Structure 1
């Protein structure tokens, strides 16, 4: 009967993290991220409090899309924050 190849019985080595090689974000990144999140929130709150008349009149529910889009930019930045 043929013998199987011997296994390497060395310990497990975890892959090295690539994050250590990446540069941290600039000083502007966190304030910009928070600003986008707050502007998106303010846009949506303004839309609901004014019953759809503001922030941009005559586009109705598209104000929600704009507010959520601005907030999504902030959330996207959150995923890149180091």
Structure 2
């Protein structure tokens, strides 16, 4: 009858699958407020554009205000990939 492989007792199972990079650094204190702030700022930018009937936040660029608002919000959404 074949013998089973011996178990390693040196590392916990969670560290085995992660390799040597299992030490997670804590997130900076500013990360979450900036992330959520950018998402909200982008939303507010677009809302101001529509509610002011395209006069604000920047009157002379027209529809590019939507691109700017979505761009700001997308930076916040991309930050969520690094949030631990």
Into which bin does the TM-score normalised by the smaller protein fall?
Answer: 0.7 to 0.9
Question: Unaligned stretches of 5+ in structure 2?
Answer: 6-12
**TM-score relative to the length of structure 1:** 0.76
Match in the other structure for 1:75: 77
Matched positions, count = 73
CA distance in 2, matches of 1:17, 1:77: 22
Deviation at 1:28, TM superposition (A): 0.7
Deviations 1:8-64 (A, max 9, x none): x75xx8961367323121111001111101100000000111111100011000000
Q: CA RMSD for the aligned pairs? A: 2.3
Higher helix share: 2
Q: Does 1:54 align with 2:56?
A: yes
Instruction: Report the structure number with the largest CA radius of gyration.
Output: 1
Question: Unaligned stretches of 5+ in structure 1?
Answer: 1-8
| Secondary structure of the corresponding residue to residue 16 of structure 1 | helix
**TM-score relative to the length of structure 2:** 0.75
CA distance in 2, matches of 1:42, 1:66: 11
Q: Structure 1 stretches (4+) deviating beyond 4 angstroms? A: none
